[in-house]
A = this chain, B = another copy of it.
Amino acid sequence: MTSMDTQTRFRTGAVDMTHGGGGRAMTELIKDLFHRHLKNPILDQGHDAAVFDAPPGRLVMSTDAHVISPLFFPGGDIGALSVHGTLNDIAMAGAKPLSLTASFILEEGFPLADLERIVMSMARTAREAGVPVVSGDTKVVEKGKGDGVFITTAGVGVLPEGVTISPAAAKPGQAVLLSGTIGDHGVAILSKRENLEFETELRSDSAALHGLVADMIAAVPGIAVLRDPTRGGLATALNEIAHASGAGVLLQEEAIPVAPDVEGACELLGLDPLYVANEGKLVCICEAADAGRLLEVMRSHPLGRQAARIGEIVEDPDHMVIMQTAFGGARVVDWLSGEQLPRIC
């Protein structure tokens, strides 16, 4: 098959069951689409497993399945998101990501042009992050047994000597920092789903946070907790930290940055931004004495310009998250029992 044929097929064709069958059609899809865009020396080994060198240190490993709907949205797509999601999980342990794997579950009939667009976005995102996709897998399911494309990524990273970051490490007296505005991702997805129009386009904040984290750790190696407030939003992330550490969290509502458009959209949609997913933000808990230095480092990074100190860790035998409101009251920021937004990541 010539390169021209391949290009035509990708422009007009669709995924069919043969693309998952282990035969020539699958091999061509892998070579002409996945390997062509994701190209790197490790992936090019062409083995089912990838072999690569790792610097010494403890390893960190994580995985995320991505089932977001719609697949393309302002500020990103499932390809970029699936790279960011796993890189961020690794970064939240304080580790430097080394490599990624990507598994695709394709629905029969899915346009190959859309698949190529997603893989190109994934490739660009991985390249910008400096972390190669070293191995992958493709499966195809019959029409009506999937939903376009699901992507599961896994990643491995290495933890610098002396770094121990864990949600259990939060202690009373420590400061709670947030790297920027909340709610952008979830509101962008929902606006796209509901075809809502706002004055400015609401964009997902989907981004890879490991560069920001590296700067933060270089400045303050003793950071206690890092967490990316994804599904369930800031409220859920803080409840998980409270639960894991046995402490409480006291937030200052006025200090939590929310973009005006996101705030407006949340009011319209009946959402509380505290529970809306983010894909490019982090919560950091550190000694109060380190908070100023860390905020400075965060604000000098493009992904932390609006970083803010939003509260503190407090003694609380019930390990609750409490928020002092702008009007001087206090409210419990509880777990959600179910979901606010399905298929958000």
Contacts and interface: CB of A to CB of B under 8 A. Distances in A.
Main SS of the interface on chain A?
mixed
A23 B339 contact: yes
Contacts of A48: 62, 89, 92-93, 227-228
Contacts of A146: 145-147
The bracket for how many chain A residues form the interface is: 35 or more
A52 B156 CA distance: 11
A255 interface: no
Contact of A338 (B17, B104, B339): B17
Interface string A55-75: 010111111111100000000
A61 B338 contact: no
Most buried by B among A21, A66, A342: A21
B22 A50 contact: no
B168 A339 contact: no
A247 interface: no
A102 B21 contact: no
Nearest to A91: B49
Contact of A230 (B22, B46, B90, B341): B22
A14 B103 CA distance: 26
Contacts of A159: 51
B135 A63 contact: yes
A167 interface: yes
Interface stretch (A136-144, A261-269, A313-321): A136-144
A146 B21 CA distance: 19
A21 B337 CA distance: 9
A102 B136 CA distance: 15
- 9 tightest Cβ-Cβ pairs between the two chains A and B: A21-B339, A22-B231, A22-B232, A18-B338, A154-B154, A23-B336, A63-B101, A49-B62, A152-B152
24 contacts: A17-B339, A20-B343, A21-B231, A21-B232, A22-B231, A22-B232, A22-B336, A23-B335, A23-B337, A24-B336, A26-B231, A46-B167, A46-B244, A48-B92, A49-B61, A49-B62, A50-B61, A51-B60, A52-B61, A54-B54, A67-B141, A105-B152, A142-B343, A150-B150
